Amino acid sequence: MKPAYDFVIIGSGFGGSVSAYRLTAEQKRLGRPASVCVMERGKRYLRGQFPRDVGRPKDFSFRNEGRDGWHGIFDVRSGDNISVLCGAGVGGGSLVYLDVQVDAFASTFDIVGPEGRRRWPSTVNWHEEMPGYYARMESMLRPSPIPDPPLKTIALREAAHGAGMAERFKLVDLAVFWGKQGGERGVVFNDPYQRGGPPQGACQMCGECFLGCNTHSKNTLDLNYLWFAERAGAEVFSQHRVTRIEPRPGGGYTVYFDDLAAQSPGSVTARNVVVSAGTTGSTELMLKCKHGYRSGRTQFAPTMPRISEMLGRYFSGNGDFGAVAFQSRRVTEPAVGPTITAAIDCRDLLDGHGFYIEDGGIPEVLRANMRLYPGGVSTGQRVLHWLRGLVSTRTPASLAEQVFDLLDLEAVRNALVYLTMGIDAADGVMSIDQAGQLQIHWDHTQSMRYLRKVEETLRAISETPVPGSDGPGIAANLMLNPTWSFNKHLLTLHPLGGCPMGDDETMGVVSPAGEIFNYPGLYITDGSIIPTALGPNPSKTIGAVSERVGDHIIAKGI
Amino acid sequence: MIAVWAILGLSLALFLVPRLAAVWLRWRDRAPGNDRTLLAYSNELPRYFTRDAAGKVNTAARWPGWDAWIASAIPADDSLPPQLIRGTLMTGLYGLDGIDNYEKLLYRLSGYQAVEHLCLVPTTYQLPEGASLVLSNLSQNYLAKQTDLEMADAELDVTILGDRPGNLTTEEPYGRIEGTWPNYRLSFLNPEAEIRIALAYQGERIVWWTDLPGRYTHFSAFGTFDATVEYSRGTTITDPHRPVPDSQKLRFQARGTVEHIAAREPFAFDWLWLPMRYLGRWFPSLKPILYHHEVVIGDGLEGGILHARAFGVDFRNGGGLFAGAVYHRIKHLAVSYAAADAIDNCGGLGALTPVYRSWDVRASTDAGELAYTATRTHPPAMAGPNTNQYHFTFQGTWLGAPLTGRGFGEYIHL
């Protein structure tokens, strides 16, 4: 790593990768040497390297700030009434996201929050500007609907039909490579999009999108934006976790980091810094810079106290709400196919601030684990069969049946998993404790109207017709996310807000161009600057907003 | 010293056993002398099963082997959306992962407790603005023999049941074959692609691949199909985002085969293969089994080739052709493989599996040579990690005269 760069980018997800590519490409276009450094806290995963061995939990979980070997691919943060799951690795959240590329609801950009403020900056005509940036995302990520939908997709279509919502059903655009003809499962192509990209395999329908796509069928950011940025000269450093940012006298910033692989601290300076560590990561970092924190016996003083008081506000889980329709009358095989394939589009409900109901999947972790070993799946099958015989001879045979039904995911072979997302109130607050650890406070009160409508709709599509009667539908039993039913606690994969955009520092943390008020040359671009829920899966909008921020950085002069 | 002798002994056994087995197979094989137009009743009936005390087929017991009936039909009109219909009903598994697809086997079932249903319908779909999309439409299911197989023993009537895709309260036949030579009725369901198939078959003549009584019997009976195929979602895609029900029923004539394979259990040798799997991790190019079987249907010529090789020894290298009513035995076969697709089986960093897109065949008969270049027409349909089933077109010569046609086949290399 060089001691200084023009740009240091913190994080490699939908904000960081887009910025890295646009900035490096612009430097190249101007004939200047690339001077872009990307720091990512997670590891780099090549094709086939995503973890599957369930005996190695540290490969799956990013905990303890990445120390003691806990530098896995998932980072779970638990807060009041809501938990957040994020990805860690070169490519950021794209490694574990569920491929969906859908525009935000148009009504989103006009949302007025419960506090009575119009959330999105009024100085920008978002309706006019965003389509161009969405198109850029599409040209890079090449989303398209699945050409050969699996059984769970057909089940969702039937569910919509049963509830009289057939016209709302549609296959969603997925950033997945299906093959050149379409449906060429598993076939590996060198540079499939013929633009100098890496080899990718066509989707095998293995249902493991969520665990990291081992065939590189998912168009994750390390295969496009970041791939091209690196080829243009950007330097990407994995397992580098940024701890704080400090303005330098005379301009520029010093970025302090821990090298998790070498287990040593370091620092680098930059004229400009782009913070793209994700909603939780960026907000936590900025809160530490604004308020200071204690690490062990060392107290770090605030480095950027003039950051807006709006820091930490407008947290949203993007209305994420999970449910399962059990005992449906259709075969669904939720372990087959991309995790999400289709949606029931209810955006027009709730005065135009509705929701999207998508089918979900369940990755078959046991089978994926058995594939790793030399004996492969067949040997694992024989061992399991031997164990089954052993259990049967020592216990009632029905117990063995039940155990193996569980292993076979028998209870969900006719279950339809729902992943719902939509417009919640986006009124959560993030803060840090003395040790600089993020705290998330979310109250569902203002979002109850939304949640009740979601539940009502899920019940209609799941439980029609009533069991025993004829007619279209899947006739299932709906089970809501149990943590919600018992404890009013939700899980979100799509955290947003915390460093919201605003017209000025009383309205937000960053300007519509992503620049932090009072700190020139310091930008944030990721989910944290989105001031509301977006409706459907937010990655496309986060990427598009990052494209816009990149344009403004370039226009300002690099 | 003992270890050295053990290694030498094992090496000698690996060298000698396949060669002696190949000699024994040639000596015992009755295929060359079997009738080519009449099929004995015993050859169409299931051969390996057991009966319960009441004398009925006992699907709960472990059987000494398995039977498979495979229908393959190529529409006479090559402009129709379906390029091939291939349906398989198996009363057991081959017993070797790679040929079988253990990924699809439920944990509660052993290889001896499963039956296989396979339905492959490579189809060309029309997209807006003149574009097209080719999908393999492969549906493969391993179901429980005890509950999902219905089989008569005194007549050919075999049904594999599956969960009715639209309503689990009743089961639905995923595949069925019934009838007597030369007339069979078959039906298949592809639940994923929502395709239903009904075939009325009239057999004409038979190519015998192998007939080892009590061990392994395999023939393909060529004939004509009256086919009805119903695509619940149609074959014209007006909006790729909305696979709406738009049923399309096609009725057409097709040419193809009905195969019957009957094999004893020694073919269930997956556990013996474990050392090879370990070696394969270290030496990915080590693939001692090759099986390439395909059937060609051309202008006035039909028949097929079979190349089966294990540990460097050819167990089968030949086939048979009917030129009109005249049968020509293929005595030697040479296949050279050209362009290939590489398949990633989600197996982590394991080697990719090559699946050929085109290949050249030269087959020698006493009358002369059949030579053709074949090209697969649809994406690989992997019925196992190392098993591809395919439809192809070919161009070549028969006795020096130009020949074009289509065919279907199965390629295994592990």
For range B63-69, the mean pLDDT: 95
Residues A297 and A376 in one domain: no
Residues A302 and A385 in one domain: no
How many interface pairs between A and B have CB atoms less than 8 angstroms apart?
A: 160
pLDDT surpassing 90 at residue A168: yes
Q: What is the CATH number of the domain that holds A257?
A: 3.50.50.60
Q: Identify the band that residue A406 occupies on the pLDDT scale cut at 50, 70 and 90.
A: confident
Between CA A524 and CA A531 the distance in angstroms is 13
Give the model's pLDDT for residue A536: 96
Q: CB B108 to CB A405 under 8 A?
A: yes
Give the model's pLDDT for residue A107: 95
Residues A372 and A277 in one domain: no
Amino acid at B195: I
For range B221-241, the mean pLDDT: 95
Query: Which chain A residues are within 8 Å of B133, Cβ to Cβ?
Result: 147, 181-183
pLDDT digits (tens, 9 = 90+) for B154-199: 999 999 998 766 565 666 889 999 999 999 999 999 999 999 999 9
Q: In what order do the strands lie in the sheet with A490-492?
A: A74-78, A82-87, A490-492
Query: Which chain A residues are within 8 Å of B241, Cβ to Cβ?
Result: 145, 170-173
Nearest to B343 among A187, A367, A384 (CB): A187
pLDDT digits (tens, 9 = 90+) for A371-388: 888 788 888 888 888 888
Q: List all residues of chain A from 528 to 547 with a beta carbon under 8 Å from chain B.
A: none
Nearest to A330 among B105, B165, B280 (CB): B165
Residues A110 and A55 in one domain: yes
Residues A5 and A94 in one domain: yes
Q: CB B111 to CB A147 under 8 A?
A: no
Residues A510 and A371 in one domain: no
Q: CB B278 to CB A329 under 8 A?
A: no
Q: Identify the band that residue A389 occupies on the pLDDT scale cut at 50, 70 and 90.
A: confident
Give the model's pLDDT for residue A206: 93
Cα(first)–Cα(last) distance of chain A, in Å?
A: 20
Q: CB A382 to CB B191 under 8 A?
A: no
**Residue A164 in domain:** no
Query: Could you tell me if A385 lies within 8 Å of chain B, comparing CB atoms?
Result: yes
Give the model's pLDDT for residue B169: 60
Give the model's pLDDT for residue A121: 97
Query: Which chain B residues are within 8 Å of A408, Cβ to Cβ?
Result: 106-108
Q: CB A148 to CB B192 under 8 A?
A: yes
Give the model's pLDDT for residue A230: 97
> Which of A357, A384, A408 is a domain's end point?
A408
Give the model's pLDDT for residue B164: 65
If you average pLDDT over every residue of chain A, what do you get?
94
Q: A365-369, A490-494, A533-537: which range is least confident on average?
A: A365-369
Q: DSSP code of A144?
A: B
pLDDT digits (tens, 9 = 90+) for B320-333: 999 988 999 999 99
Assign A303 to helix, strand or coil: coil
> Which of A380, A408, A436 is a domain's end point?
A408
pLDDT surpassing 80 at residue A139: yes
Question: Buried b vs exposed e over B56-70: b needs ≥16 C-beta within 10 Å?
Answer: ebebeeebebbbbbb
Residue A57: which domain range?
A: 1-73+88-143+219-319+493-558
pLDDT surpassing 80 at residue A159: yes
Residues A129 and A25 in one domain: yes
Q: Strand locations in B105-170, DSSP E?
A: 114-120, 123-126, 132-135, 138-144, 149-151, 157-163
For range A152-178, the mean pLDDT: 95
**Residue A167 in domain:** no
Amino acid at A287: L
Q: A365-374, A440-449, A539-548: which range is least confident on average?
A: A365-374
Between CA A373 and CA B96 the distance in angstroms is 17
**Residue A18 in domain:** yes
Name beta bridge partners: B94: none
pLDDT digits (tens, 9 = 90+) for B70-111: 999 999 999 999 999 999 999 999 888 889 999 899 888 888
Query: Which chain B residues are within 8 Å of A144, Cβ to Cβ?
Result: 240
Best to test chain B binding among A178, A185, A189 (most B CBs inside 10 Å): A185
Residues A519 and A386 in one domain: no
Give the model's pLDDT for residue B388: 95
Q: A213-222, A510-519, B11-20, B196-205: which range is least confident on average?
A: B11-20
Query: Could you tell me if A147 lies within 8 Å of chain B, comparing CB atoms?
Result: yes
Cβ atoms A25, A36 nearer than 8 A: no
Cβ atoms B115, B143 nearer than 8 A: yes
Query: Which chain A residues are within 8 Å of B341, Cβ to Cβ?
Result: 184, 187-188
Query: Which chain A residues are within 8 Å of B107, Cβ to Cβ?
Result: 366, 381, 384-385, 404, 407-408
Residues A374 and A229 in one domain: no
Whole-structure pTM value: 0.94
Q: CB B241 to CB A145 under 8 A?
A: yes
Q: Identify the band that residue A277 occupies on the pLDDT scale cut at 50, 70 and 90.
A: very high
Q: CB B348 to CB A371 under 8 A?
A: yes
pLDDT surpassing 80 at residue A544: yes
**Residue A157 in domain:** no
Give the model's pLDDT for residue B165: 60
CA A279 to chain centre: 10
Judge residue B215's burial from the number of C-beta atoms within 10 Å of its C-beta, 0-12 exposed, 13-18 middle, 19 or more buried. middle
Q: List all residues of chain A from 157 to 176 with a beta carbon under 8 Å from chain B.
A: 157-158, 166, 169-173
**Residue A211 in domain:** no
Best to test chain A binding among B100, B108, B136 (most A CBs inside 10 Å): B108
Q: CB B346 to CB A215 under 8 A?
A: yes
The set of residues, in sequence order, having a beta carbon less than 8 Å from that of A508 and lying 6+ positions away, is A121, A308, A310, A499, A500, A501, A502, A517, A529, A531
For range A187-209, the mean pLDDT: 95
Give the model's pLDDT for residue A538: 97
Name beta bridge partners: B314: B309
Best to test chain B binding among A46, A144, A154 (most B CBs inside 10 Å): A154
**Residue A174 in domain:** no
Q: CB B380 to CB A401 under 8 A?
A: no
Q: What is the ipTM of this complex?
A: 0.92
Nearest to A48 among B271, B274, B349 (CB): B349
**Residue A112 in domain:** yes
Residues A254 and A372 in one domain: no
Please tell me which residue of chain B has the smallest CA distance to A215: B346
Name beta bridge partners: A315: A428
Query: Could you tell me if A467 lies within 8 Å of chain B, comparing CB atoms?
Result: no
| Degrees, nearest 5: CA angle A249-A255-A258 | 145
Give the model's pLDDT for residue B174: 94
pLDDT surpassing 90 at residue A398: no
Query: Could you tell me if A259 lies within 8 Å of chain B, comparing CB atoms?
Result: no
Alpha carbon of A376: minimum distance to chain B alpha carbons (Å): 8
Best to test chain B binding among A148, A176, A340 (most B CBs inside 10 Å): A148
**Residue A162 in domain:** no
Q: Which residue has the tokens 């990291």?
A: A212
pLDDT digits (tens, 9 = 90+) for B5-36: 888 888 888 788 888 888 888 888 999 999 99
Give the model's pLDDT for residue A302: 97
pLDDT surpassing 70 at residue A55: yes
Q: CB A371 to CB B274 under 8 A?
A: no
The set of residues, in sequence order, having a beta carbon less than 8 Å from that of B214 and lying 6+ positions away, is B264
Best to test chain A binding among B104, B192, B276, B356 (most A CBs inside 10 Å): B192
Query: Which chain A residues are within 8 Å of B108, Cβ to Cβ?
Result: 388, 401, 404-405, 407-408
pLDDT digits (tens, 9 = 90+) for A74-105: 999 999 999 999 999 999 999 999 999 999 99
Alpha carbon of A95: minimum distance to chain B alpha carbons (Å): 16
Alpha carbon of A374: minimum distance to chain B alpha carbons (Å): 5
| Degrees, nearest 5: CA angle B191-B195-B201 | 115
Assign A458 to helix, strand or coil: helix
What is the percent of chain A with per-residue pLDDT over 70, rounded to a whole number? 100
Best to test chain B binding among A205, A377, A378, A379 (most B CBs inside 10 Å): A378
Query: Which chain A residues are within 8 Å of B193, Cβ to Cβ?
Result: 148
pLDDT digits (tens, 9 = 90+) for B264-315: 976 567 888 888 888 887 887 888 999 999 999 998 899 999 999 998 899 9
Q: CB A408 to CB B191 under 8 A?
A: no
Residues A122 and A239 in one domain: yes
> Which of A350, A374, A408 is a domain's end point?
A408
Element (H, E) at A482: helix A482-487
- Report the domain count for chain A: 2
Between B413 and B281, residue with greater pLDDT: B413
Give the model's pLDDT for residue B5: 87
If you average pLDDT over every residue of chain B, what do you get?
91
Query: Could you tell me if A309 lies within 8 Å of chain B, comparing CB atoms?
Result: no
Q: Identify the band that residue B67 occupies on the pLDDT scale cut at 50, 70 and 90.
A: very high
Give the side-chain half-sphere CA count within 13 A for A369: 14
Between CA A339 and CA A318 the distance in angstroms is 18
Residues A56 and A121 in one domain: yes
Query: Could you tell me if A479 lies within 8 Å of chain B, comparing CB atoms?
Result: no
pLDDT surpassing 60 at residue B319: yes
